[in-house]
Amino acid sequence: MDSFDLVDDILRALADQDRRLALYYLQKEGEAEVEELARQVAAWSDEKPIDEVTDDELKPLIMEFRHNHLNRLRDAGCIEYDERTEVVRYKSPPKFLEPVLSVLAPFEHPERN
């Protein structure tokens, strides 16, 4: 994969707010189980405390993470995802990713704006 393809893959992965919120969380925590990650993203998206996210709200987002978001982030090299254990790791992301997230975070990260 050449650098142009990598940049395109990362930008496509970052085109979704839930994926960006997941990356902000993983930057801080290093790793998380899919349900934990989805719960935090749901809380940030709905601007409410994490303990107020219901299972009914969470189920569709977990499915979206399992079948879409995590694959896109993994394919772009942003995360490692073990489908067997359902653990997501922010490990050795492309150098291009961190500067892009640091530019976006002040505008949309719930803990930085």
Q: Please write the tens of the pLDDT for every residue from 18-33.
A: 999 999 999 999 999 9
| Residue 33 per-residue DSSP state | E
| Residue 93 per-residue DSSP state | -
How many Å apart are CA 70 and CA 74, to the nearest integer? 6
How many Å apart are CA 23 and CA 29, to the nearest integer? 10
How many Å apart are CA 66 and CA 60, to the nearest integer? 10
- The pLDDT > 70 percentage for the chain reads 96
CATH of domain 3-108: 1.10.10.10
| Strands across the sheet containing 87-89 | 31-33, 87-89, 80-82
- The pLDDT > 90 percentage for the chain reads 81
Element (H, E) at 42: helix 34-46
Q: What was the pLDDT predicted at 112? A: 66
